[in-house]
Amino acid sequence: MANKDFFIDVKNYVFDLFKNSLPQQVVYHNQNHTLQVVKAVNEIALAENISGEDLEILLLAAWFHDLGFTKELENHEEISKKIVAEYLSKRGFSKEKISKIQSVINATIMPQNPTNKLDEIICDADLYHLGTNDFDKKSKLLRLEHEKLSGKKLSDIEWLQENEQFLSDHKYFTNYAFEKLNAQKLLNWVNVKNNLQKTKIKIKEQELKNKLKKDSIKLKKQKEKRPGRGVETMFRVTNRNHLKLIDIADTKANILLSVNAIILSIALSNLFPKLDKPDNYYLIYPTLIFLLITVVTMVFSILSTRPKVTSGKFSKKDIANKKVNLLFFGNFHKMELEDYQKGMIDMMNDNDYLYKSLINDLYYLGKVLDRKYKLLRIAYSIFMYGIIISVIAFIISFGMMKNSGMS
């Protein structure tokens, strides 16, 4: 077998040729891949008890098997065989040994079809990465190289399908490679299958989104052509504003109820127990005034929030005569479903009836608001003036108590 210095010269020759002659688009089959194949060949060969001249043949085939990419992109194995023959002839290698090396290089042609142990070793070394954690990284480089060399952009599904098929068909030939690499290769295969399935689902979802988007744009254009778009916007905005005002009114009423409930509970727990003492007789009238104002305020607050629901049932004749507003739940909550469905369909097919119902809905919302805010105004007025009157009453009572004490 050749000595170490010889293989150092081989390495330098191969790396110089890659450095100076390899096209930039070849990003996978370069010096890095060659070096990894050489290391893998050495590892598998030692495990398979290959040594001497056979190991030398394997290592030289590994060093030269992809050098053809520096000269020609198609049929690079044939170019690699010519390069190795030219290089080794100058170094005194026999034609028989060169022919064996060329035969091993031939084994790397896809699909792999090794005929002896040396072929099996270089085949396993050339696809060593299939059974490692670097599979994804190597796959991306190989995809980039394929696209650059072919000038064809591959879709994710196309590339994953090729990978899935390749991993499915591939097998390691040597016992060492099978035992060490096959388990991880199967995991890589499963990951590719999962990614392929996810990509298919993702593409289908995107296609559906695009279709829905197109349909939405089409529907939007159709709606824009319909008359009354500004009117519909007016109804929507006005209705929203009415509902906000109702919510504000209810919030104000709840605040007033909470405050008066707290005042009432404090008065009952702290002020009332003191009234049974003769010395505190002067507190009776101010306290009664105070409690009366609190209770009246709470009553008006409750009245402002108390819902009013109509009968909830109308006849088919009322619907046919357009005497019922089907947009308000209080008008239909006792109706039969079939009657309500028919009435809604009739209304949707009759623009005049529809807009009349919307107008009625806004009108009665306004009436509800009017009632709420009137009651709220009364409640707040009673509370405001009542507090003032109560404070004055307490001040007068305290004053009368002091004057009687001085007398």
Annotated domain spans of the chain:
4-206, 229-406
- Is there a contact between 31 and 14 (Cβ–Cβ < 8 Å)? yes
Q: Given pLDDT bands bounded at 50, 70 and 90, which one contains residue 223?
A: low
- Is there a contact between 122 and 55 (Cβ–Cβ < 8 Å)? no
Compute the distance between CA of residue 309 and CA of residue 364 in angstroms, rounded to an integer.
Answer: 12
More reliable by pLDDT, 361 or 207: 207
Query: Read out DSSP for 254-303?
Result: HHHHHHHHHHHHHIIIIIGGGGGSGGGGGGHHHHHHHHHHHHHHHHHHHH
More reliable by pLDDT, 252 or 318: 252
Q: From 41, 79, 76, select the one nearest 62 (Cα to Cα).
A: 41
Q: pLDDT for 127-179, tens place per residue?
A: 999 999 999 999 999 999 988 888 888 888 999 999 999 999 999 999 999 99
Average pLDDT across the chain, whole number: 82
More reliable by pLDDT, 289 or 19: 19
Q: What angle do CA 203, 205, 210 make, to 5 degrees?
A: 90
Q: Is the pLDDT of residue 16 over 80?
A: yes
Per-residue model confidence (pLDDT) at position 403: 66
CA dist list (Å): 27 to 90, 138, 228, 254: 30, 10, 62, 73
Mean pLDDT of 17-28: 92
Mean pLDDT of 320-333: 60
Q: Is the pLDDT of residue 312 over 60?
A: no
Compute the distance between CA of residue 284 and CA of residue 288 in angstroms, rounded to an integer.
Answer: 6
Q: Is the pLDDT of residue 227 over 50?
A: no
Q: pLDDT for 361-392, tens place per residue?
A: 777 777 777 788 888 888 888 888 888 887 88
Q: Is the pLDDT of residue 126 over 90?
A: yes
Compute the distance between CA of residue 201 and CA of residue 160 in angstroms, rounded to an integer.
Answer: 14
More reliable by pLDDT, 26 or 348: 26
Per-residue model confidence (pLDDT) at position 325: 60
With 0.75 as the threshold, say if the pTM is over it: no
Per-residue model confidence (pLDDT) at position 302: 80
Q: pLDDT for 259-274, tens place per residue?
A: 777 877 777 676 666 6
Compute the distance between CA of residue 6 and CA of residue 132 in angstroms, rounded to an integer.
Answer: 31
Q: Is the pLDDT of residue 241 over 80?
A: no
What secondary structure letter does DSSP report for 246? H
CA dist list (Å): 204 to 153, 208, 210, 385: 20, 6, 10, 69
Q: Given pLDDT bands bounded at 50, 70 and 90, which one contains residue 13?
A: very high
Mean pLDDT of 219-233: 63
Q: Could you tell me which CATH number the domain at 4-206 has?
A: 1.10.3210.10
Q: Is the pLDDT of residue 400 over 80?
A: no
Range 229-406 classified under CATH 3.40.50: no
- Domains 4-206 and 229-406 equal at CATH topology level: no
The number of beta carbons lying within 10 Å of the beta carbon of residue 151 is 7
